Structure 1
Amino acid sequence: MTRSRSLRLLDPLRALEVLTALWSTAAVAPISSGAAAAYRTLFITVRRLVAGRRLAIRLDEGELTLTVTEFDSRLDIRGLSVGQLTDVRLAARDIRWNDSVFNHATAVLHNLHIRPAAPPVVVAAPVDLTLEVPAAALDDLFRWAAPRLSGEVADDGIARLRLARRPRMGHLEVDARLDGSTLRLTPNGIVLGRSRWRLPAHTPAYRVQLPELPHGLRLTEVEFAPKVVRLSGTLPEWRMAMPRTRLEEILNQLSAVGVPLNLTRLPRLL
């Protein structure tokens, strides 16, 4: 299928030409108003093409669909002149990753910048991530890690553990805390029938060993909110090679309505 170029891509493509010339001749990031204007044009174009849209994205690991709710950065002309976009914040809702569904996610790419190279490399360090997982995932976790227990997070945002085979017997109300790769669930209350008792602060915690996460991603916090489990994590560094031809292809795909964004075989340098 042949894609026609929209008129709104003409300026971004001129910006790409400027940046390509600078990348090919600079041993370090160039300092110029032309580079700043080119980076700003590209960023604003991408933001206009994705913000508020429902996107389907093809990745090597599967297909991702989401609605982008935020794509923003405090652009600084002096920083842009050397390819520095400072911090970029992304947010999305109604996320489907293969067979998994998530409520909401955010990513803050700190110190996002572009290194002139062959091809240029996009770098952010660190990257802070949050993901809101439907409360049913807590029960799935216990089916995997502790089959004798079941878990839930109700409308009040309180996490409860029950005996899987005797759910009506009562439940424990628990708080969550991370200890390295171990999730500590500490009971703070017990409910039997209509009676509730508060447990002492030194009540032993139930420990769940979490699986190792890819690419050095480190889980930093687990919180409970109404009907969701909110996970926060940090990736020390994220890098991706971005040849001009691939960037131009991405812009063309985003400008076409109903065309999935294909990011398969895009070289990553994690």
Structure 2
Amino acid sequence: MTGPRSEQRARTLDRLGWLWSAAAVAPVAGGAAAAYRTLFMTLRRMVVGRRMAVRLDAGDLTLTVTEFDSRLDMRALSVGQLGEVRLSARDISWAGSRFDTAAAVLHNVALRPSAPPVLVAAPVELTLDVPEAALDELLRWAAPRLSGAVGTDGVARLQLVRRPGLGCVEVDAQLDGSTLWLRPRGVTLRRKRWALPGRTPGYRVRLPELPHGLELTGVSFAPGVVRLSGVVPEWRMAMPRTRLEYLIGQLSAVGRPLNLTRIVKLR
């Protein structure tokens, strides 16, 4: 027996077949722009507000999608350009770690005509709110004598592991390439605080190399979290019809985890 959900899925897949066949050989025709917009809105309804489990090679990822949006311009769509696409998620769990929120802004998203069509975005800006424990873990790796925390006031503080009651140093974060500088701005000893001059030497932390061309662009502190920002200069993925059909089929099956490992391998 077929219901409204299966009928909607069938219509979406039929529309996909026509769009992807056209995109493989030429820019999108004017009449297809409205179909692309309908397709985007259909995908948006499938993911926003939904708790999703994604099976990856490096471990299962679970999250709740809070935003999937774009200011779709019909003229731009007529030549295969989606413009800026924004994605956000909350309550993220991956490989035993938990994160509050994450966001991605994909600039200049376009569907390049080829066989198969290629989805391209350049650049992609990323932000991730990491629990304050991540600062302590980083310091234990780079400077075992120190521990760190970010207070509810959004201030990061360092102290000696062996003498935590002695006091703490307030620090700001400054990024210089692959080096993170923790620059002192104040010191507290036995409940008394002193401001430090701006030229006080900072503590250098060498950061590990990041995968997939990701470049870290900023580190800041907010109440209880370390806020990371980065950029991928260009992201692209071949989008054969089989891959997109499989993705929509997975999204249509509520309660079943997505398997992105298989999606990546589809050709």
Normalising by structure 1, we get a TM-score of 0.93
Once the 2 structures are TM-superposed, how far is the Cα of residue 60 of structure 1 from its aligned partner? 2.5
Give the aligned partner of residue 161 of structure 2.
164
Q: CA contact under 8 A between 2:24 and 2:116: conserved in structure 1?
A: no
1:18 counterpart = 2:18: yes
Letter in 1 for 2:199: H
Q: CA contact under 8 A between 1:84 and 1:111: conserved in structure 2?
A: yes
Q: CA contact under 8 A between 1:174 and 1:185: conserved in structure 2?
A: yes
1:137 counterpart = 2:120: no
Identity over the aligned pairs, expressed in percent? 66
Q: CA contact under 8 A between 2:25 and 2:115: conserved in structure 1?
A: no
SS of match in other structure, 2:82: coil
Question: What are the residue-to-residue correspondences of 1:170-209 with 2, within 5 Å?
Answer: 170-209=167-206
Question: Which one of the candidate residues 51, 55, 58 is aligned to 1:61?
Answer: 58
SS of match in other structure, 1:214: coil
Distance in 1 (CA, whole Å) between partners of 2:24 and 2:83 is: 23
Letter in 1 for 2:14: R
Structural RMSD (CA) = 1.5
Give the aligned partner of residue 213 of structure 1.
210
Once the 2 structures are TM-superposed, how far is the Cα of residue 13 of structure 1 from its aligned partner? 1.7
Once the 2 structures are TM-superposed, how far is the Cα of residue 251 of structure 1 from its aligned partner? 0.7
Distance in 1 (CA, whole Å) between partners of 2:62 and 2:264 is: 21
Once the 2 structures are TM-superposed, how far is the Cα of residue 227 of structure 1 from its aligned partner? 0.3
Q: CA contact under 8 A between 2:66 and 2:90: conserved in structure 1?
A: yes
Question: Which one of the candidate residues 239, 249, 253 is aligned to 1:252?
Answer: 249
CA separation of 1:24 and 1:90: change in aligned 2, threshold 3 A: closer
Q: CA contact under 8 A between 1:58 and 1:64: conserved in structure 2?
A: yes
Once the 2 structures are TM-superposed, how far is the Cα of residue 103 of structure 1 from its aligned partner? 0.5
Q: CA contact under 8 A between 1:87 and 1:110: conserved in structure 2?
A: yes
Give the aligned partner of residue 116 of structure 1.
113
Once the 2 structures are TM-superposed, how far is the Cα of residue 106 of structure 1 from its aligned partner? 0.3
Once the 2 structures are TM-superposed, how far is the Cα of residue 33 of structure 1 from its aligned partner? 2.4
Q: CA contact under 8 A between 1:11 and 1:41: conserved in structure 2?
A: no
1:235 counterpart = 2:232: yes
Once the 2 structures are TM-superposed, how far is the Cα of residue 21 of structure 1 from its aligned partner? 2.7
Distance in 2 (CA, whole Å) between partners of 1:155 and 1:198 is: 20
Segments of 4+ in structure 1 off by > 6 A?
none
SS of match in other structure, 2:261: coil
Letter in 1 for 2:217: T
Once the 2 structures are TM-superposed, how far is the Cα of residue 199 of structure 1 from its aligned partner? 0.6
Q: CA contact under 8 A between 1:55 and 1:67: conserved in structure 2?
A: yes
Question: Which one of the candidate residues 146, 151, 164 is aligned to 2:148?
Answer: 151
1:91 counterpart = 2:93: no
Once the 2 structures are TM-superposed, how far is the Cα of residue 34 of structure 1 from its aligned partner? 2.5
SS of match in other structure, 1:111: strand
Q: CA contact under 8 A between 1:110 and 1:124: conserved in structure 2?
A: yes
1:45 counterpart = 2:37: no
Distance in 2 (CA, whole Å) between partners of 1:220 and 1:60 is: 26
Once the 2 structures are TM-superposed, how far is the Cα of residue 252 of structure 1 from its aligned partner? 1.2
Once the 2 structures are TM-superposed, how far is the Cα of residue 256 of structure 1 from its aligned partner? 1.1
Once the 2 structures are TM-superposed, how far is the Cα of residue 132 of structure 1 from its aligned partner? 0.0
Distance in 1 (CA, whole Å) between partners of 2:34 and 2:211 is: 36
**Runs of 5+ in structure 1 lacking a partner?**
none
Distance in 1 (CA, whole Å) between partners of 2:25 and 2:151 is: 58
**Runs of 5+ in structure 2 lacking a partner?**
none
Normalising by structure 2, we get a TM-score of 0.94
